[in-house]
Amino acid sequence: MTAVDPVLSVRRLCKRFPVYGGGFRRKIVGEIKAVDDVSFDLVPGEALGLVGESGSGKTTTARCILRAMAPTSGEVRFRLPDGRAVDLARLAERELKVVRQHAQMVFQDPYSSLNPRMTVREIVGEPLVIHGLATGAALDDRVAEMLRRVGLQPEHRERYPHAFSGGQRQRIGIARALIMRPSLIVCDEATSALDMAVQAQVLDLLKELQREFQLTYLFVAHNLDVVRNFCDRVAVMRKGRIVELASAKEIFAAPQHPYTKILLSAVPSPDPDIPMNFNVGEELAKLDAAG
Amino acid sequence: MNFPPDAPLLEVKNLRVSFPGDAGAGGAVQNVSFSLARGRTLALVGESGSGKTVTAHALLRLVPAPGVIEAGRIIFRSRRVGEIDLAHLDEKSGLLFKVRGGLMSLIFQEPMTALSPVHSIGSQIDEAILLHHDVSPAAARRQTLEMLNRVGIAEAARRYTQFPHELSGGLRQRAVIAMALVCRPELLIADEPTTALDMTLQAQILGLIKTLQREIGCAVLLITHDLGVVAQMADDVAVMHRGEIVERGNVRDVLKRPQHAQTRALLAALPSRRGALVG
């Protein structure tokens, strides 16, 4: 990946949260660096995994990139389909709306990310309505087509989210993200709430859609095993920083950073003869002590 | 005791649980039989909806209405109260209350739903002790503090007074484990105990369950959909599919030479085994 211009170029991204004191006046007594000097590129058609423990800053990084929250500093250069590049970190809200057609998010919890009072047709069609891209029969056709594409029956579009299983709901979330034909999809733990078999089906679907629509993925996950075959490259985050970024092959075959090694050792192998590491707690504490 | 010393701790025979009004003709759990020896770990594995959680809840007679145990026996051989058939115990029987939390405990998947939000962590564990043992509140408090230490909760005295929302997910799950094991049950049922946690916390919690199991000497019935967890934790495994056990045996045999299509499908769904299918 040399001559290709990146779709997304993140430079020195930082997000700090204030820490308040216990007193009545809630004085700011410090700050937490949730995202600390994060930089990486995403080339078209690639899937980059962002992995780490809870609290490592991976979700905050993803949210800052799509401006679901404002970063404290740094640059998020996003290339639009017409070739123009914009800095998402600095864009005004009004301009963001246009850009958001091209960068969408799939959320973790299919039970809380879909409005229970909206039918599937309304949920999936809403982005087109908001952006004024389709109405009436055209809207209905596009929703039906997208539902078919993600493996749902278009006849079920008048139903409400509660009538669907977790895996089906995640497909609804994917359909909603894809209906705008975006070039970048940020998946925030998109399969973590699903059981193994359903997770495998959703990952397969995302892979197929990637080929069909030339999608670029930023795939946030705590499970290293999930990114193993799904992602081309993997960035390992710890305490707001990327400690290692390499091809998925290299990360799994020859992890360099001690933190990556600990994360890998915590994955339970389905082979009873490859014992997992139950002592990750002590090893992480040692790593903390070492600085 | 009214049973031979080498008889298994738990024997489930032809268990059938159904929910009236279900579309399917069969039950949520049909004709399920398995046994579990003292101190051993059996994993019940399957996809969501396969009936593994309903089976676990049936053991404690916690199948939610309108679900009913239609047939079968659940023989539990306690060293403390002798052999009982839990399937035929009266709902209001004192023995059932003795079993629940005393002889057989349950760790739920989501610790937040297992804990009361309006009581401190310490008082909830105290309550479990006071319910099952004739001790003073002060003695219960001492036992609770000791148990909090043993499950790896630092600053036990401070945590004792805290409420569930003040604890992280990992600490909450440790508190739930403390509550489940403080009465030294003979059987621990762990229903997806680490599904809501990230990988490093999962490893720590699984390690903790293993250590405490050895210390207390209890058997563990582990409910999970992850064959990786099965391989690392269990001696034996029973694979459930649509309410039935379709394959069972020693973990090594079943995982290395799976016989049933459903077992193979579960193995193929593991992300680490999917290299050939995607990419």
DSSP symbols for A157-206 = GGS-GGGS-HHHHHHHHHHHHHTT--SEEEEESTTTTS-HHHHHHHHHHH
Q: How far apart are CA B186 and CA B180, in angstroms?
A: 11
Tell me what pLDDT residue B59 has.
96
Expressed in percent and rounded to 5, the helix, strand and coil fractions of chain A are 40, 25, 35
Q: How far apart are CA A116 and CA B88, in angstroms?
A: 41
Share of chain B above pLDDT 90, in %: 77
Which residue of B lies nearest to A261 if distances are taken between CA atoms?
Answer: B200
Interchain pair B255, A222: CB under 8 A: no
Share of chain A above pLDDT 70, in %: 99
Interchain pair A268, B272: CB under 8 A: no
Which residue of B lies nearest to A46 if distances are taken between CA atoms?
Answer: B279
Q: Which two tokens stand for residue B16?
A: 């059938």
Tell me what pLDDT residue B114 has.
83
| C-alpha of A87 from chain center | 19
Query: pLDDT (tens digit, 9 = 90+) per residue, B189-205?
Result: 999 999 878 899 999 99
Q: Which CATH superfamily is domain A8-102+180-290 in?
A: P-loop containing nucleotide triphosphate hydrolases (3.40.50.300)
Which residue of B lies nearest to A54 if distances are taken between CA atoms?
Answer: B198
Q: Which residues of B touch A54 (CB under 8 A)?
A: 169, 198, 201
Q: How far apart are CA B238 and CA B252, in angstroms?
A: 12
Kind and range of the H or E run holding B15:
strand B10-18
Q: Measuring CA to CA, how many Å separate A46 from each of A66, A75, A79, A84, A257?
A: 18, 20, 15, 20, 23
One pLDDT digit (tens) per residue for chain A, 291 residues? 456 789 999 999 999 999 888 777 788 888 999 999 999 999 999 999 999 998 899 999 999 999 999 999 999 999 998 999 999 999 998 889 889 899 999 988 777 889 999 999 999 999 999 999 999 999 999 999 999 999 999 999 999 999 998 889 999 999 999 999 999 999 998 888 888 888 899 999 999 999 999 999 999 998 888 898 899 999 999 999 999 999 999 999 999 999 999 999 999 999 999 999 999 999 999 999 987
Query: pLDDT (tens digit, 9 = 90+) per residue, B93-131?
Result: 889 989 998 999 999 877 777 899 999 999 999 999 999
Q: CA of A194 to nearest chain B CA: how many angstroms apart?
A: 9
Determine which of A234, A278, A282 to mutate to test the interface with B (most B C-beta atoms within 10 Å).
Answer: A278
Specify the DSSP class assigned to residue B116.
-
Residue A101, CA atoms < 13 Å, CB-side half-sphere: 15
Q: Which residues of A touch B271 (CB under 8 A)?
A: 199-200, 203, 223, 225-226, 228-230
Which residue of B lies nearest to A165 if distances are taken between CA atoms?
Answer: B48
Q: What residues contact residue A285 under an 8 Å CB cut-off, 6+ apart?
A: none
Q: Report the amino acid identity of residue B70.
A: E
Q: How far apart are CA A6 and CA A42, in angstroms?
A: 5
Q: CA of B194 to nearest chain A CA: how many angstroms apart?
A: 12
Q: Spell out the domain ranges in chain A.
A: 8-102+180-290
Q: How far apart are CA A160 and CA A164, in angstroms?
A: 8
Tell me what pLDDT residue B279 has.
31
Q: What ipTM is given for this predicted complex?
A: 0.84
Closest CA to B109 of B191, B188, B182, B228: B191
> From chain B, which residues contact A within 8 Å (Cβ)?
47-48, 152, 169, 198-204, 206-207, 210, 225-232, 251-252, 255-256, 265-275, 277-279
Query: Are the C-beta atoms of residues A240 and A56 closer than 8 Å to each other?
Result: yes
Q: CA of B193 to nearest chain A CA: how many angstroms apart?
A: 14
Tell me what pLDDT residue B23 has.
57
Interchain pair B48, A166: CB under 8 A: yes
Q: How far apart are CA A92 and CA A132, in angstroms?
A: 20
Nearest to B204 among A195, A203, A280 (CB): A280
Q: Which residues of A touch B207 (CB under 8 A)?
A: 278-279, 281
Q: Which residues of A touch B275 (CB under 8 A)?
A: 228-229
Q: CA of B235 to nearest chain A CA: how many angstroms apart?
A: 10
For chain B, residues with pLDDT lower than 70 are 1, 22-26, 273-279
Q: Which residues of B touch A280 (CB under 8 A)?
A: 200, 203-204
Q: Measuring CA to CA, how many Å separate A22 from each of A29, B165, B166?
A: 9, 17, 15
Tell me what pLDDT residue B112 has.
76
Query: pLDDT (tens digit, 9 = 90+) per residue, A1-10?
Result: 456 789 999 9
Q: Which residues of A touch B279 (CB under 8 A)?
A: 207, 229-230
Q: Which residues of B touch A223 (CB under 8 A)?
A: 198-199, 271
Q: Which two tokens stand for residue A232?
A: 């081309």
Q: Which residues of B touch A271 (CB under 8 A)?
A: 231, 255-256
| Other beta carbons within 10 Å of B134 | 6
Q: CA of A195 to nearest chain B CA: how many angstroms apart?
A: 6
Cα of first residue to Cα of last residue in chain A, in angstroms, is 34
Nearest to B228 among A222, A267, A279 (CB): A267
> From chain A, which residues contact B within 8 Å (Cβ)?
53-54, 165-166, 195-200, 203-204, 207, 222-226, 228-230, 262-263, 265-273, 275-281, 284
Specify the DSSP class assigned to residue A124.
H
Provide the edge-to-edge strand list for the sheet that holds A73-79. A28-42, A8-20, A73-79, A85-87
Interchain pair A272, B202: CB under 8 A: no
Closest CA to A31 of A44, A50, A17: A17
**Coil vs helix vs strand at A146:** helix
Q: Which burial class, exposed, middle or buried, applies to A195 when counting CB atoms under 10 A from its CB (0-12, 13-18, 19+)?
A: buried
Q: Which residues of A touch B200 (CB under 8 A)?
A: 53, 262-263, 266, 280-281, 284
Q: Which residues of A touch B169 (CB under 8 A)?
A: 54
